[in-house]
């Protein structure tokens, strides 16, 4: 099998998993539909959201988000996360793509649809507390975990440096969509993000559901055997990039020096391979 064939097959497999069965049509809806966009071509949010490091950032965000029992209850009870993980990944990918790169009209329509879904997602967590996905407090936690994870993944494994100024610009640009989704007073700087995560620490717990999610994401993902080695690199990089307190809650073991080195190597190998595949001529 030639290198070109391998590259093409890998690109097709990645796009089908992340975008769906018709990636060309999805791409046209985002990139070819005329209309004004929220972000200019040189916006840092565009640079980060189209980088291969987002694969790692997405896994890390899910792990971090699972530590809030009410957010975890909503995901476990309503998102189809375990029954249809690729469907959820594709919906998340479509949302990020449309709100970052798509025309304003379609992006606003998608956000309205998501807010409607959030209003219907409600229930009672295993600890007896009621929850609703439209709760601004929970939406803030989800946003903080995503912003921190995408920035951390890009800083460690992204295709280019990230200055402190760009980091703050990314947080500020992300606030636009967060506010439209329902986050009240979203963070505007990375220091705001760090303070926000610290403020939630007392609400976070390594529940059985959270640890099962970590095992599902890191150890036993629903993947065919040939895809598992590549995914294992992404998962190892995501786990290694988590803060120590989060790893402790999720029972993810840590070997200080070796863990850092292995995670860095895994992340670099995985993201470089993805970039190689997706930039096929």
Give the residue ranges of the chain where pLDDT is below 70: 1-23, 77-89, 222-227, 255-262, 276-278, 280-281
- What pTM value is reported for the model? 0.89
Going from N- to C-terminal start, the domains of the chain cover 3-278
Residues 39-98 have pLDDT tens digits of 999 999 999 999 989 988 988 998 999 999 998 887 776 665 555 555 666 778 889 999
What pLDDT does 5 receive?
54
Query: What are the contacts of 181-189 at 24+ separation with CB within 8 A?
Result: 181/111, 181/114, 181/115, 181/118, 181/139, 181/143, 182/115, 182/118, 182/134, 182/136, 182/139, 183/136, 183/139, 183/140, 183/143, 184/136, 184/140, 186/140, 186/143, 187/143, 187/144, 187/147
Q: Which DSSP helix (H) or strand (E) runs through 123? A: strand 122-124
């Amino acid at each position: 099998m030639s290198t070109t064939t391998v590259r093409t097959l890998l690109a097709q497999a990645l796009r089908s998993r992340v975008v769906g069965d018709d990636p060309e049509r999805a791409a046209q809806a985002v990139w070819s539909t005329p209309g004004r966009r929220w972000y200019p071509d040189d916006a840092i949010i565009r640079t980060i959201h189209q980088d291969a490091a987002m694969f790692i950032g997405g896994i890390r965000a899910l792990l971090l988000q699972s530590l809030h029992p009410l957010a975890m209850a909503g995901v476990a009870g309503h998102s189809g996360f375990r029954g249809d993980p690729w469907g959820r990944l594709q919906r998340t990918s479509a949302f990020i793509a449309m709100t970052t790169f798509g025309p304003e009209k379609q992006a606003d329509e998608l956000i309205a649809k998501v807010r409607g879904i959030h209003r219907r997602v409600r229930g009672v967590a295993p600890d007896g507390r009621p929850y609703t996905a439209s709760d601004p407090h929970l939406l803030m936690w989800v946003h903080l975990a995503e912003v921190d994870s995408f920035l951390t993944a890009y800083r460690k494994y992204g295709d280019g440096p990230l200055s402190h100024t760009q980091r703050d610009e990314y947080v500020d640009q992300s606030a636009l969509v967060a506010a439209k989704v329902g986050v009240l007073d979203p963070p505007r700087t990375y220091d705001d993000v760090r303070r926000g995560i610290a403020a939630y620490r007392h609400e976070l717990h390594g529940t059985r559901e959270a640890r099962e999610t970590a095992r599902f994401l890191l150890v036993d993902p629903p993947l065919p055997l040939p895809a598992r080695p590549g995914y294992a690199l992404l998962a190892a990089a995501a786990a290694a990039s988590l803060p120590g307190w989060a790893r402790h809650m999720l029972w993810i073991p840590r070997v200080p020096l070796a863990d850092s080195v292995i995670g860095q190597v895994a992340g670099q190998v995985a993201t470089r391979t993805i970039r190689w595949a997706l930039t096929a001529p």
